[in-house]
Structure formats: C-alpha cells, structure tokens
C-alpha cells in the first residue's frame, strides 16, 4: 500500500536503492556466516614445541629480564646463562643468518604466564632475544 501512494517518479528512484540494500544485507549475511565456519587457528602448547626439557619449574623474574636487557649483543653465552640460570626447555635450532646455526632457550615469564622469553645463541655468543605468546 505504501508504494501505491508514492508517485511513479519516486518509485523509479526508490527501487534501485531497495534492491541494492537487499543485496548488501544478503552479502553481509553470507560473509558473517563464512567467518563462523572458518577453522580456528590455535597456537601450539609450549611443551609441544620444546625439543629438550631442561628445568620444568623454571620461570624468569622481572628482575632477571631487566638485567638481560642491559646485556649487549653479542656477548658471551656463559654470561647470559649465569644471569638467567637454567631454561625451561630448549627449542629446535634454526638458521637465522646464512651459515650460522641459532640455538634457542625458552623461559616462561613468572609475571606473565602466557609470555615466554626466547634467548638466541650462535655458538658461544648470545645474539638476542624475542618473546612468544602462548
């Protein structure tokens, strides 16, 4: 009934807008439905990526982390290991730079259970660190 009361000129201008709106709503619903059906990507559990367990109760304190941040890169591996003590585990080695094998020790942060510090060594040199969220 409402459309009967609108003059013919207004109907012709209104129809494309209504059709466009319907198509937009239909496309939006398809998109939202597609998002719900996508598989969820989950990060692996920390223990599943460890190559070798060293000290399962190890945690890194905020004080230890603060001290590590003052150590220049590169430094002697033994200096860093003395500062941090034993890691929770050792991750698989990888090659970050051509011709160098990078060993990685993992330390869960005692003040943030979901974040781990990963310390990188090349031979007897400490070469850096990174953080991993689990």
Same-domain pairing of 120 and 67: yes
Residue 42 domain flag: no
Residue 44 domain flag: no
CATH assignment at residue 123 = 3.30.1450.10
Give pLDDT, residue 96: 81
Same-domain pairing of 32 and 76: no
Q: How far, in Å, are 8, 15, 58, 94, 115 from residue 83 at the CA level?
A: 83, 73, 13, 24, 19
User: How many domains is the chain built from?
Assistant: 2
Domain housing 99 = 49-133
Phi and psi at 30, nearest 5°, equal: -65, -40
d(C-alpha 60, C-alpha 21), whole Å: 56
Residue 57 domain flag: yes
DSSP 44: P
- Are 104 and 120 in contact by the 8 Å Cβ rule? The answer is yes
β partners of residue 52 = 90
Residue 6 domain flag: yes
Which pLDDT tens digit goes with each residue over 2-46?
A: 555 555 555 556 666 666 666 566 655 565 565 566 665 555 676
Same-domain pairing of 78 and 16: no
Q: Which of 4-13, 47-56, 65-74 has the highest mean pLDDT?
A: 65-74
**pTM tops 0.85:** no
- Are 76 and 125 in contact by the 8 Å Cβ rule? The answer is yes
């Amino acid at each position: 009934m409402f459309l009967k009361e609108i003059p013919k000129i207004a109907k012709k201008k209104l129809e494309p807008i209504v059709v466009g709106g319907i198509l937009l709503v239909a496309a939006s619903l398809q998109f939202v439905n597609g998002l719900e059906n996508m598989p969820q990507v989950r990060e692996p559990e920390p223990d599943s990526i460890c190559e070798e367990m060293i000290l399962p109760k190890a945690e890194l304190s905020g004080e230890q982390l603060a001290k590590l941040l003052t150590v220049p890169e590169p430094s002697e591996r033994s200096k860093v290991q003395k500062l941090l003590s034993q890691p929770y585990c050792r991750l698989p080695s990888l090659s970050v730079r051509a011709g160098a094998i990078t060993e990685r020790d993992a330390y869960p942060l005692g003040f943030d259970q979901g974040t781990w510090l990963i310390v990188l060594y090349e031979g007897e040199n400490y070469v850096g660190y990174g953080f991993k969220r689990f």
